[in-house]
Chains A and B, each alone.
Chain A
Amino acid sequence: MSHEEHREHVPAPVPVPDLIFPRRTLVSLLVFAACWETLSHLAPYLGIPPFAIPSFVRIAKSLADITPVDVAVTLARVIAALIASFVLGVALAMAMYRSEALDSYLHPMVRILMAVPVVSWILFAVLWFPGVEFRIGFVLVVVCGPVFLVDSLDAMRGVPRELRHMMQSFRPTTLQYFVKLMLPAIVPSIFTSWKVNISLAIRVVTIAELVGAVTGIGHQLSVAQELFSVSDVFAWTLVLVVLLFLLEAVVARVEKRLLRWRA
């Protein structure tokens, strides 16, 4: 083997973090915080009720009162529903990829499911199911499942013909074909679906918990609204945003690990 044939193992260039972006983000957040704090002090002079724009001291007190159990319950609901949606979505995508007939039957149903507004699903869930947990789970799965399904199916159809041809030439069983080729090939697309669905699930679970739940962040937001406590709403919203960022960071880390083969 000639030396020219070897390509040296040069480690992939490590992206240099863009220092300008975080600084600008920090500046914009500080400007927003300063405006908010100023407004909270000026509110009485502007004819705005004092509770409408609470100061950061008040918000900090609300943050201190956050009940971890509600955060844990919401997080558990989101993760359980996302896992169930993922398994169902990918399994159905595999079946639809395999069977054109099944695809032609299910495709219109999936389109309809995706067109139904979240609020309608919540109302259906309340009317159909007695159990709160099942209602919330149902709404999350029916909203997130189709995203996993459609993305996975599209990704499977996008697997290069050359790779499918090569794999088939070695005569895999149907299970081997999916496990060795299709599933690894759609991993990048699956991660994109996870990122989209985490954000979707966090928003949907809050709305679902607003209706009928006695635990979770959505329920706490409902209580805060009944008490006219903007600081509590602010604090719980902040928790939701942090939760979203944390989940996204976990997915990004797993993605980086699993997709290290990419150039």
Chain B
Amino acid sequence: MTISKGGPPPIEVRGLRKVFRQTASGQAVVAIDRLDLTIAPREVVAIVGQTGCGKSTFFDLAIGLEAPTEGSILIGDKSPHGDFDYFRGHIATVFQQDRLLPWRSALDNAKLPLELIGLPENEQRRRALTWLNRLGLSQFTNAFPHELSGGMRQRVAIARAFAVEPDILLADEAFGHLDEVTAAELRETFLALARECGSTAILITHQLEEAIAVGDRIVVFGKSAKLLADIHVAQWPNEKYGVLREAIQATLHANSRDPRLAQA
């Protein structure tokens, strides 16, 4: 479901800041610090960084479950948090764990977002079946999650995300817990489907190889909560991917050894 006929709108992040207050100590923790970022329509952006650098906070801000402390994140001219209901059926998510509802079959799990947008039952069923078939699950539509392998459950989760044909797709470490072969296979499928749907895709990952394999752009987050690099992968020829990976690794290492972080 596209918001406008011209496809998904751009994502504009301006001066984005997110501060959490720790429950026990009351101490403020800066998770995102004055982030500026523009993501073009249909772009596939991989966000990489070490644990605790604010990737998942950015994910929550982008899907609208958290409000920025300062600054803004806009999709088109709407805020995913402030205009929460406006984006129903336009933003879809895939998480690290499949997060399938255990009491629903694969088909019913894939139907879930379609039920939320109020499509007629037969249309829900048709669309969910289409996406499950495309993800190779036509024989398992009536299986409950506990009857499926981890890879199959993640396929159902991907079918659930694509079922609404969203403008914006966000994946948080979606392939991180799978074995390499299954992860590579699913990553490829995910990317192909995202391009086919014309969705803007944001993939949060801590794996550089995955970021390079998937992203049109790689955005590198560093500790604490700052933008270290914004790389357009197309500008790097394939044979230089090794150099690119090393350059990103060096940037992350330098950031983690920053004496100011040690003091913090």
Contacts and interface: CB of A to CB of B under 8 A. Distances in A.
Interface in B133-188: 136, 143-144, 146-149, 151-152, 155, 181-182
Given A5-B182, A162-B99, A181-B101, A170 B113 contact: yes
A179 to B, nearest CB: 9
A24 interface: no
Interface residues of A, number: 26
A7 interface: yes
A163 interface: yes
A180 B91 contact: no
Nearest to B88: A171
A1 interface: yes
A115 interface: no
A261 B116 contact: no
Contacts of B182: 2, 5
A206 B132 CA distance: 55
A153 to B, nearest CB: 20
A168 B92 contact: no
A263 interface: yes
B97 interface: yes
A184 B92 contact: no
B93 A261 contact: no
B65 A168 contact: yes
B241 interface: no
A162 B65 contact: no
A91 interface: no
B102 interface: yes
A247 to B, nearest CB: 24
A67 interface: no
Nearest to A1: B136
Given A5-B151, A162-B95, A169-B63, A184 B103 contact: yes
B87 interface: yes
Question: 3 smallest A-B Cβ distances: which pairs?
Answer: A166-B99, A263-B146, A171-B88
Interface of B: 63-65, 84-85, 87-89, 91-93, 95, 97, 99, 101-104, 112-113, 115-116, 136, 143-144, 146-149, 151-152, 155, 181-182
